[in-house]
Amino acid sequence: MAASLYIGLMSGTSLDGVDALLVDFAAEQPRIRAACHTPYPPELRAELLELSHASHPELHRLAQLDVMLGELYAAGVRRLLDEAGAAAADIRAIGSHGQTVRHHPHGPHPYTLQLGDPNIIAERTGITTVADFRRRDIAAGGQGAPLVPAFHAALFRHPDHARVILNLGGIANITVLPHQAQVPVTGFDTGPGNALLDGWSARHCGTPYDAAGRWAGGGTSSPRLLQRLLDEPYFALPPPKSTGRELFNLAWLDARLDGTETPQDVQATLLELTAASVARAVAEYAAGAREVLACGGGVYNSALMARLAVLLGPRALLSTAELGVDPQAVEAMAFAWLARETLAGRPGNLPAVTGAAHPVMLGGIYRGRL
């Protein structure tokens, strides 16, 4: 059994905590054996948010956070094993994405930085850990993201019609899955997903997110503000492209407000921004897709999903739950799968998605205890 069990770790742009997933790949269809979510302590989350937005991060704090996150991820693995009734010896590998605090794949010195020291994870758990997935793709000339489309293709590709997989995390991204095996899979970050909605809700309501989109649903989207937001050059860039909090943050939003909008109407407009930018991307790059399968935390924002259903029509908008895959589990499962690919010596990136010059094996391997 041990050869088929993997753990995927994922902490997304929303910075709410780490998702740990125990996945059994013994059968053709991966099976989730156990899952748990370890929230970030408020102080750690505040530090990460500050580090994500600061112009000149303190290296001492950066290094300490790297270790602190490594310890937290390792604790999440130990908790997962306890809940699953599994032993470290049963696990072939951990795939840990880490917490992105900088993503800058452009310019003369492109880079991306994820925290959560894999040495700590491997040492504390005794389990071989695969981590640092993005940087090899960037070294090969790619964006380093998104990396999950290869897993989407393995799990969700339909033999008869094209599909889009929509991840509604802090940043939204799409994977376009043609039904023809010879046609390359494509995908990219469409723009903000939950990040601006969550940040604005935290500022004005004191809550980490707008539950079910109820606050946004009581406001009125401003066409003028929406147009100013959509004038952001990122939206017009052709793929491959990726983005993050470095661009789409509250300072970016503040610079585009004119002071006439109420906070609730701004929230309604931010919801419309996410829905409109996703719908535009699907219309331009996946016009022939019959259905859109959504995953990520945004699936639980019913107001956002309702608006997406309208704008994506006549395509059907479904949750991956309807295919038996928990929408909150997709990304963590993907990094368990990518860890498996790396240990098997297989590439994990898709050059048609990231823009890399060629396929590469992703991540470094940090061996468990001998």
The structural domains of the chain, with segments of one domain joined by +, span 2-145+330-366, 149-323
Q: Give yes or no for residue 275 having a pLDDT over 80.
A: yes
Predicted pLDDT at 53: 74
Predicted pLDDT at 1: 56
Lowest mean pLDDT among 44-48, 73-77, 81-85: 44-48
What confidence tens digit (pLDDT) does each residue in 202-244 have? 999 999 999 999 999 999 999 999 999 999 999 999 999 999 9
* pLDDT confidence bin for 56, thresholds 50/70/90: low
Predicted pLDDT at 73: 98
Higher pLDDT, 365 or 46: 365
Say what percent of the chain tops pLDDT 90: 92
Q: Tally Cβ neighbours within 10 Å of residue 356.
A: 22
What confidence tens digit (pLDDT) does each residue in 93-134 have? 999 999 999 999 999 999 999 999 999 999 999 999 999 999
Both tokens of 36, joined, read 């748990």
Predicted pLDDT at 57: 65
DSSP bridge pairs for 292: 164, 317
Q: Right CATH number for 149-323 from 3.30.420.40, 1.10.10.10, 3.40.50.20, 3.30.1360.10? A: 3.30.420.40
Q: What is the dihedral of CA 96, 193, 37, 146, to 10 degrees?
A: -20
Give the span between the Cα atoms of 125 and 22, in whole angstroms: 14
Mean of per-residue pLDDT scores for the chain: 95
- Could you give the 3-state DSSP secondary structure of residue 155? helix
Predicted pLDDT at 52: 76
Predicted pLDDT at 187: 98
Both tokens of 6, joined, read 């993997």
Q: Tally Cβ neighbours within 10 Å of residue 352.
A: 16
Give the span between the Cα atoms of 311 and 72, in whole angstroms: 40
Mean pLDDT within 6-23? 94
Predicted pLDDT at 13: 86
Q: Which amino acid makes up residue 105?
A: P
DSSP bridge pairs for 95: 8, 130
The domains spanning 2-145+330-366 and 149-323 adopt the same CATH topology: yes
CB-based contacts of 285, cutoff 8 Å, min separation 6: 174, 176, 186, 188, 239
Mean pLDDT within 286-306? 97
Phi first, then psi: what are they for 366, rounded to 5°?
Answer: -115, 105
Both tokens of 87, joined, read 């032993």
Give the span between the Cα atoms of 361 and 346, in whole angstroms: 6
Q: Tally Cβ neighbours within 10 Å of residue 139.
A: 14
What confidence tens digit (pLDDT) does each residue in 248-269 have? 999 999 999 999 999 999 999 9
Half-sphere exposure of 204 (CA within 13 A, CB side): 16
Give the span between the Cα atoms of 134 and 146, in whole angstroms: 9
Say what percent of the chain tops pLDDT 70: 98
Predicted pLDDT at 58: 78
* pLDDT confidence bin for 340, thresholds 50/70/90: very high
Cis peptide before 240 (omega within 30 of 0): yes
pTM of the model: 0.91
Q: Which CATH superfamily is domain 2-145+330-366 in?
A: ATPase, nucleotide binding domain (3.30.420.40)
Both tokens of 256, joined, read 């585009």
Mean pLDDT within 30-56? 87
* pLDDT confidence bin for 280, thresholds 50/70/90: very high
